[in-house]
Structure 1
């Protein structure tokens, strides 16, 4: 456990670099999978690593050793982890678990509420048109999900742009983008260093939907113009928009405005990104290293427990 137990935590420091490279240079669908897997795996591995360190600290406490009939002296001799480090790891691990459980509960409640709201919406072919002059459009997950468009948005766009908007929003539903966002946020909740990965996922799912709309319509330039036009006519997210909703302008808040729309427009005006196997391989190696190091640390802890008599 001298080095292996710390490796998943150290790999989290690469999150800003990985988020930038994958979101800007890799095909959006693959980038979303890689970013989500990275956030979830590193968040889980880091939390378990903190737990392993905390256990080694408990083994060194003589009062607990007397109660549990194990040898605290053997633990102090065979385990290099200092007690203060183990105690800090235990505190951080407890906070990580609490934050992850809190995020899981919030996301579960949000998605359940969205699904219930979607089920109660009368729709034609999954489309709900609301009478509202404020231009807005978003997708709500559910069984089935709903695409909600305001009359203001329909008036602001022409017929071809309507098709692009629908193709974008339906991709959010059919590709289950809400699950990617939820898993990435779960990993980031456990380890704040992974927040760049979760933020990048909210961008790449929009790029994924943009590219799907471009494929469906066969006109990348028109999709870029539609995204830009929707950004110009749409005001900051209204209070009525469900928190689980995904719109053509991304996940918005009252202060966040339209988000990274200029980057998406520029990407649509450029040639499509390729899969980039080197970045995919580098991500796979990173996640494999985190997983194997965690397995090695757990194996070392097993031998330590045998040595102290547990």
Structure 2
């Protein structure tokens, strides 16, 4: 356990370069799923490792030793090392719990506000009278489909075919429940600082998923690419800028628009080897972190049995 318990805390730093290459090298749907699984898995392993670091030091305390029926010290290290280490790990663990709880509560409250009484007319599309070009998908609470919000300024900036592509893009965000993937990335980032680097690739991959869905819906990748490009240009050149979005909203012009347009037009050459290498790296990191956490857990269990005199 002495060495294995540190692996889940160090492995997340290795996923950053692979995650950045994954979104461009793999299909968007596969990239989203793998990034979400990697973030959630490494976050759980981080929490497990911190908990395992707490137990040996806590076992040095008389109250814990009595509750665990320890007849000998649980940890081989000196109390001067084990107890401060356990205290630091406990502080980090409580910090993670508080951060995750706060983020989850904030996300729920934002969804509640976004689908408040003023938005419950049952329609999918809400058109706002605003000259500033803007469009976004506003997810709803569980059981609520959410809705697409678009301004009159954005509708005037696009031709009919481009409007269809834009609405299909936003509809894909809602039907795919993409805000949940962003929530997973955000909660994972609260457990380990290195996992914050997964949020940008996740956001890009989700936009690419919606782009591909829009291209499929209108049957023309060039129309979808033109709609995204013109929407982004209109939003950025409009005087006064766009109005602030509700926090859970997913905007059509988010992320690196030139990369998205180039991908739709096929100007980014496929890199299957890079994609496979990046995916293999993330899967390997997840497997190594999980195996190390299990190994450390097994060692701790054996140590507890020894301390209880069950396996001298």
TM range (shorter): 0.7 to 0.9
Q: Could you say which residue in structure 1 is the equivalent of 2:249? A: 245
**Where does the alignment leave 5 or more consecutive residues of structure 1 unmatched?**
251-258
Checking the alignment, whether the CA contact within 8 Å between 1:19 and 1:35 is kept in structure 2 is: yes
CA distance change for structure 1 residues 237 and 86 in 2, over 3 Å: closer, same or farther?
farther
Q: Could you say which residue in structure 2 is the equivalent of 1:131? A: 129
Count of equivalent residues: 298
Checking the alignment, whether the CA contact within 8 Å between 1:128 and 1:148 is kept in structure 2 is: yes
Deviation at 1:64, TM superposition (A): 4.6
Deviation at 1:46, TM superposition (A): 0.3
Q: Could you say which residue in structure 2 is the equivalent of 1:256? A: none
| C-alpha separation in 1, matches of 2:93 and 2:30 | 31
| C-alpha separation in 2, matches of 1:60 and 1:196 | 37
Q: Could you say which residue in structure 2 is the equivalent of 1:186? A: 187
Deviations 1:169-219 (A, max 9, x none): 010011110110011111001111100112221111011111111222233
**Where does the alignment leave 5 or more consecutive residues of structure 2 unmatched?**
none
The CA RMSD over aligned residues, in Å, is 2.5
| C-alpha separation in 2, matches of 1:285 and 1:196 | 18
More deviation in 204-213 or 272-281?
Answer: 272-281
Deviation at 1:144, TM superposition (A): 2.1
Deviation at 1:100, TM superposition (A): 1.1
Q: Could you say which residue in structure 2 is the equivalent of 1:297? A: 296
Checking the alignment, whether the CA contact within 8 Å between 2:148 and 2:167 is kept in structure 1 is: yes
Checking the alignment, whether the CA contact within 8 Å between 2:59 and 2:73 is kept in structure 1 is: no
SS at match of 1:186: helix
| C-alpha separation in 2, matches of 1:198 and 1:206 | 12
TM-score, normalised relative to structure 2:
0.86
| C-alpha separation in 2, matches of 1:72 and 1:223 | 69
Deviations 1:41-64 (A, max 9, x none): 111110111111011111134575
Checking the alignment, whether the CA contact within 8 Å between 2:5 and 2:52 is kept in structure 1 is: yes
Deviations 1:211-233 (A, max 9, x none): 11122223323322221211121
Deviation at 1:288, TM superposition (A): 2.2
| C-alpha separation in 1, matches of 2:118 and 2:258 | 30
Q: Could you say which residue in structure 1 is the equivalent of 2:14? A: 14
| C-alpha separation in 1, matches of 2:121 and 2:250 | 17
SS at match of 1:190: coil
Deviations 1:254-300 (A, max 9, x none): xxxxx422222232232575774444343333222222221221111
Q: Where do 1:49-60 residues align within 5 Å?
A: 49-60=49-60
Counterpart selection for 2:263 from 264, 267, 270: 267
- Is 1:45 aligned to residue 45 of structure 2? yes
Checking the alignment, whether the CA contact within 8 Å between 1:249 and 1:261 is kept in structure 2 is: yes
SS at match of 2:188: helix
Which portions of structure 1, spanning 4 or more consecutive aligned residues, are displaced by more than 6 angstroms? none
CA distance change for structure 1 residues 248 and 118 in 2, over 3 Å: closer, same or farther?
farther
